[in-house]
Amino acid sequence: MAPVTPTELSDALRAALAAAVADGTLALPADALPDTVHVERPRQREHGDWATNVALQLAKKARTTPRALAEDLAARLVATPGVAKVDVAGPGFLNITLDAAAAGELARTIVEEGTAYGRGEAEAGTRINLEFVSANPTGPVHIGGVRWAAVGDSLARILQASGAEVTREYYFNDHGVQIDRFARSLLAKARGQAAPEDGYGGQYIEDIANAVIADAVAAGDTDPRELPDADAQEVFRARGVERMFGEIKQALHEFGVDFDVYFHEDALHESGAVDRAIARLREAGHVFEQDGATWLRTTEFGDDKDRVVIKSDGDAAYIAGDIAYYLDKRERGFDDVIIMLGADHHGYVGRMMAVCAAFGDTPGKNLQILIGQMVNLVKDGEPVRMSKRAGTIITLEDLVDVVGVDAGRYALVRSSSDTNIDLDLDLLARATNENPVFYVQYAHARTAAVDRNAAEHGVTRDAFDPALLTHETESALLGVLTEFPRVVAQAAELREPHRVARYLEQLAGAYHSWYAATRVTPLGDEEVTDLHRTRLWLNDATRQVLANGLGLLGVSAPERM
RNA sequence: GCGCCCGUAGCUCAGUGGAUAGAGCGUCUGCCUCCGGAGCAGAAGGUCGUAGGUUCGAAUCCUAUCGGGCGCACCA
C-alpha cells in the first residue's frame, strides 16, 4: 500500500469532478475543469489532514452553490482508498481525513527513498548558470556578500535537488579602475605614504602589501618598493589581486561555498568577446552612434534610457563587459542565466533585461536577476557602520569566527532576500537556543539519540504497522513530513531558499512534540511492541528529512551536540 | 522627481486569495523517578503603516498616501 500523497488526492478530486460532469450532476463547461486541484494542509488539526477550496472556486461557473458541489464531491471522494472521511465545512471547504495506515505508510517511503526523498524533476534537463558573490578582489568579502554566499549556495543545492544541472560561477572583476585604486593603495602603504584619496584603507591593505613584498623577494625579484612607480604598481596589482582573491576563495571555502567557475573579466576584453558581442547587436540593428560614442538602444526593450557601450574616448563602457559575459554564458550552453545582486545594483536589472531581449532571448527566463536587500549589523541595539575604505567592515572571516559556519549560514538564509535584515552580533555570538538553527539541529541530534537508545533496548525495525500511528502528534508529524517535496519544489521554482529553513523549524517543532508525547523505547520493564518498532521507523524518517533539508542549506546535521 | 524592495506581536522575521494571522527570542505559569530540559505543555502580547477598491472571502491583488532601505553616469 502506498501512502496517499497530495498529488494523488488532487488527481482523485479531478476524477470526481470529471465523473460529476460525465453523469450530468455538474453543469460545468469542459474547459472550466481545472488541470490540478489545489490541496493544502489546513491550519487547524480538526479540519482534517488535507483540505481543498475547489467547490468554492467552481460553484459559480457551474451555477450551483459551493456546499452542494462540495457534498457531491465528498460522496465521490470517500471511496478513495486510504481516505477515512471527507467533511464539508464552512462555506464549502472539503476536509479530508486519511486513515492512519495510509498516512503512516509515508514513514516507510521516506526511509526507503533516503537522501532522494524531497528531490524532484521539475527542473530536469535545465542547465543553469548561477552567479553570486562576485565581490571585487579589493578587500575581504563583507557581510552583504556573505548573504549571497549563503543564499546562492543553498539555491544551487535546491535547484540541483529539483533536477537542474547547476554551475556556480564567480565573476572576477580584475579589469577596472577599482583594481588600480587597490594597487595604488598597496603601493602607498608599502612605502609608508598616506593612502590615496580615493583608495582603500584598513589593516588588510597593510597585510596584503607586506605579503606582496615577501612574495616578490621570495621569488627572487626586486623589492617592488624600489621599482619605478609604474612597474611597482603593476607588481602590487598583479600579486595583490592574486593574494586577495586567494583569501576570498579560502574564506568562502571555509564557509562551505565553492564555485565551479571563476570567470575573469580580463578574459572578455583580451579574447575580443566584447567586440564580437557588440558586433552581433549591431547586426541585429540595435546599435547606433551619437556624440562620438556607440550606444545600445535598450529603450526599445523597456529600459528607461539608452546605454553607452563604447565611450567617446574609445574605451568599452562597463556594461560592454556584462553584455559579452551574458553572451558567453549563453554560448557555453546555459538555458537559464541567474545572477544574484545586492539592492545597490538593482538599477542594473532593466538594462540587462534589455540586453537579453536585444539578443533575441527571453528576459525573466534566459536571464534572471535576483535582487537581495541589504544586511544591517546591529550591536548593543546600535547599527554598526561599515566602510570598506575606512577598513571598518565585518568580513566573512569575522562572522565565522564569532558565530561559526552553521549559525552564520542559517541566520542569513532563513529570511527572504526581499527583506532587509538586521543581524545582532551579540545575539548570534551567544550560541544558545536563541538561534533557531540549534532548534533544528537539536531535533536531528535527538533522532540520533533515540536511535542509539532504541538499539540498546532491543527495539528493532522488524515490524512496521503504520495503522498503529494514531497519536495526534504522529499524524501531525506525518503531515509535516509529507510536505517536504513540495516545499523543496516551491523553493526552487521561486528561488527562495528561506522556505526550506522555515519548513525545517516546523518539522523540528512537530518532532519535539512527538518526542515529548510518545516513546520509542519502552518504559522500565515493559515489553517491546510493534508500536515501538513502528515509531522507530517514524524516527528514522524524521531524521532523514531533517538531514536532507539541512543539507540543502549547507548546514551540518550533528549526531550529538 | 522617477524606479525597485520593505512596513505583520516588545525584538528578529514567516505567511505569493481561504476557516480562529504564525515561529523563534523576550515576559509569565507548570513539567527532569526512566529515549538529551539546546526540549515540552500553557498564558499574556496584533486596528497586518493608513485610506479606498476588486472578491463569496484580502496580511496577500489594484489605486492612493505615509514611513524606512536602495538606486537613477560616456563610474565601475
User: Distance, angstroms, CA A93 to C1' B45?
Assistant: 31
Q: Which nucleotide is nearest to A290 (CA to C1')?
A: B74
Cα→Cα distances A59→A13, A39, A203, Å: 15, 17, 69
Terminal-residue alpha carbon distance, chain A? 37
Ramachandran class of A331: left when φ > 0, alpha when ψ lies in -120 to 50, beta otherwise: alpha
DSSP string, A446-464: HHHHHHHHHHHTT--SS--
Cα→Cα distances A218→A176, A191, A259, Å: 29, 19, 30
Cα→Cα distances A295→A121, A290, A320, A325, A431, Å: 42, 7, 10, 18, 54
Q: Which nucleotide is nearest to A441 (CA to C1')?
A: B38
Strand order through the sheet with A93-98: A50-52, A93-98, A83-89
ipTM surpassing 0.85? yes
User: Distance, angstroms, CA A407 to C1' B25?
Assistant: 15
User: Distance, angstroms, CA A149 to C1' B23?
Assistant: 25
User: Distance, angstroms, CA A116 to C1' B4?
Assistant: 38
- pLDDT tens across the length of chain A (561 residues): 566 788 888 889 998 998 888 888 888 877 777 877 888 888 887 788 899 999 998 888 888 888 999 999 999 999 899 999 999 988 889 999 999 998 999 999 999 999 999 999 999 999 999 999 999 899 889 888 999 999 999 999 999 999 999 999 999 888 778 898 999 999 999 999 988 888 888 889 999 999 999 999 999 999 999 999 999 999 999 999 999 999 999 999 999 999 999 999 889 988 999 999 999 999 999 999 999 999 999 999 989 899 999 999 999 999 999 999 999 999 999 999 999 999 999 999 999 999 999 999 999 999 999 999 999 887 766 777 666 555 556 789 888 888 889 999 999 999 999 999 888 777 766 655 667 899 999 999 999 999 999 999 999 999 999 999 999 899 999 999 999 999 999 999 999 999 999 999 999 999 999 999 999 999 888 899 999 999 999 999 999 999 999 999 999 999 998
d(CA A242, CA A148): 22
Handedness of CA A339, A340, A342, A343 (dihedral sign): positive
Tell me which protein residue sits closest to nucleotide B32, measuring alpha carbon to C1'.
Answer: A516
User: Distance, angstroms, CA A54 to C1' B10?
Assistant: 40
How buried is A525 (Cβ within 10 angstroms: 0-12 exposed, 13-18 middle, 19+ buried)?
exposed
Classified as helix, coil or strand, A169 is: strand
Tell me which protein residue sits closest to nucleotide B55, measuring alpha carbon to C1'.
Answer: A57
Q: Which nucleotide is nearest to A560 (CA to C1')?
A: B36
User: Distance, angstroms, CA A512 to C1' B24?
Assistant: 15
Closest CA to A201 of A213, A186, A217, A216: A186
Cα→Cα distances A343→A137, A186, A391, A420, Å: 20, 29, 22, 10
Q: Which nucleotide is nearest to A496 (CA to C1')?
A: B16
Q: Which nucleotide is nearest to A506 (CA to C1')?
A: B23
Strands A83-89, A165-172: pairing is: unpaired
Q: Please give the grid coordinates belonging to residue A497.
A: 531558499
Tell me what pLDDT residue A343 has.
93
User: Distance, angstroms, CA A443 to C1' B42?
Assistant: 22
Tell me which protein residue sits closest to nucleotide B25, measuring alpha carbon to C1'.
Answer: A434
Tell me which protein residue sits closest to nucleotide B38, measuring alpha carbon to C1'.
Answer: A433
User: Distance, angstroms, CA A383 to C1' B76?
Assistant: 27
Tell me which protein residue sits closest to nucleotide B2, measuring alpha carbon to C1'.
Answer: A304
Contact status, residue A297 vs residue A303, Cβ threshold 8 Å? no
Q: Which nucleotide is nearest to A47 (CA to C1')?
A: B19
Strand B footprint nucleotides (protein C-beta < 7 Å)? 2-7, 11-16, 18-26, 34-36, 38-41, 56-57, 68-76
User: Distance, angstroms, CA A304 to C1' B1?
Assistant: 14
Tell me which protein residue sits closest to nucleotide B16, measuring alpha carbon to C1'.
Answer: A494
pTM of the model: 0.94
User: Distance, angstroms, CA A420 to C1' B65?
Assistant: 23
Tell me what pLDDT residue A392 has.
58
Q: Which nucleotide is nearest to A321 (CA to C1')?
A: B76
Tell me which protein residue sits closest to nucleotide B37, measuring alpha carbon to C1'.
Answer: A516
User: Distance, angstroms, CA A449 to C1' B34?
Assistant: 15
Q: Please give the grid coordinates belonging to residue A491.
A: 523553493
SS (H, E, C) A476-505: HHHHHHHHHHHHHHHHHHHCCCHHHHHHHH
Tell me what pLDDT residue A390 has.
57
Q: Which nucleotide is nearest to A177 (CA to C1')?
A: B76
> Which of the 8 DSSP states describes residue A467?
G
Q: Please give the grid coordinates belonging to residue A324.
A: 559579452
Please report how many Cα atoms fall inside a 13 Å half-sphere around the Cα of residue A363, on the Cβ side: 16
Tell me which protein residue sits closest to nucleotide B18, measuring alpha carbon to C1'.
Answer: A53
Tell me what pLDDT residue A450 has.
97
Q: Which nucleotide is nearest to A453 (CA to C1')?
A: B35
Q: Please give the grid coordinates belonging to residue A512.
A: 519535539
d(CA A213, CA A232): 10
Tell me which protein residue sits closest to nucleotide B6, measuring alpha carbon to C1'.
Answer: A419
Tell me what pLDDT residue A406 has.
93
Q: Which nucleotide is nearest to A535 (CA to C1')?
A: B35
Alpha helices in A164-317 (DSSP H): 177-190, 203-218, 229-254, 265-270, 273-283
User: Distance, angstroms, CA A184 to C1' B47?
Assistant: 58
User: Distance, angstroms, CA A439 to C1' B53?
Assistant: 43
Q: Which nucleotide is nearest to A38 (CA to C1')?
A: B18
User: Distance, angstroms, CA A43 to C1' B22?
Assistant: 10
Closest CA to A3 of A110, A114, A75: A110
Closest CA to A512 of A486, A487, A489, A546: A546
d(CA A340, CA A356): 16
d(CA A488, CA A477): 18
Amino acid at A8: E
User: Distance, angstroms, CA A179 to C1' B76?
Assistant: 10
User: Distance, angstroms, CA A45 to C1' B27?
Assistant: 28
d(CA A258, CA A156): 11
Tell me which protein residue sits closest to nucleotide B75, measuring alpha carbon to C1'.
Answer: A318
Q: Which nucleotide is nearest to A494 (CA to C1')?
A: B16
